[in-house]
Amino acid sequence: MVARVNDGDTLTLTTGRQVRLVQIDAPELNTDCYGPQARSELAKLVPEGTAIVLVRDPALDASDRYDRQLRYVLVHGVNANVALVRRGAASPYFFRKQRGRYAKALLAAVDEARSGHRGYWGACPRAELNTGVGSLTGRR
C-alpha cells in the first residue's frame, strides 16, 4: 500500500520501501516547471492508502543506485507509469537505452500528450522542456 507520494515518479510504501516508477521521468519537485503538478498527478492516481500492484520488468534493472525498486505501478488495472506520461506529467526515460515491455505504450502516450499540449507540454515554456538532461523530450 502507498504510504506517501514523494514526487512525480517515486512512492514510499507502508513497508518503508521506496518505488521508482520505471521507464519514466517526471519533472523535479522543487526545481522544474510542473514539478509540484507532476507529484499531484501521481497522488491522484495512487493516493495514500491505495493498494497497488508492483510489476518488475525482467528486461530491466530491479533497483536503482538509491536502492529504490524499479517497477510499473498498477492501480485498479491502470498502468500508472503510462497514465502519467499520457497526462503530460512525465516522459518516457530509457536508462541505457533499454526499452521495457511498455516502451511502445509510453512512446505513444508522450506523442499524445505533446500533441494535445497536456500537462507540462502546455504549461511550460518550450525552452524549459529542452534543457537539462533532456529527459523531457521522451526520446532519450
Helix extents (H) in the chain: 35-45, 80-86, 103-115, 120-123, 126-129
In terms of phi and psi (left: phi > 0; alpha: psi -120 to 50; beta: otherwise), the region of 88 is left
Tell me if 23 sits within 8 A of 73, measured CB to CB: no
Residues in contact with 3: Cβ distance below 8 Å, sequence separation at least 6, in sequence order: 11, 12, 13, 14, 16, 48
What tens digit of pLDDT does each residue of 29-87 get?
999 999 999 999 999 999 999 999 999 999 999 999 999 999 999 999 999 999 999 99
**DSSP 8-class letter at 27:** P
What tens digit of pLDDT does each residue of 82-93 get?
999 999 999 999
Domain ranges of the chain: 2-135
CATH class of 2-135: mainly beta
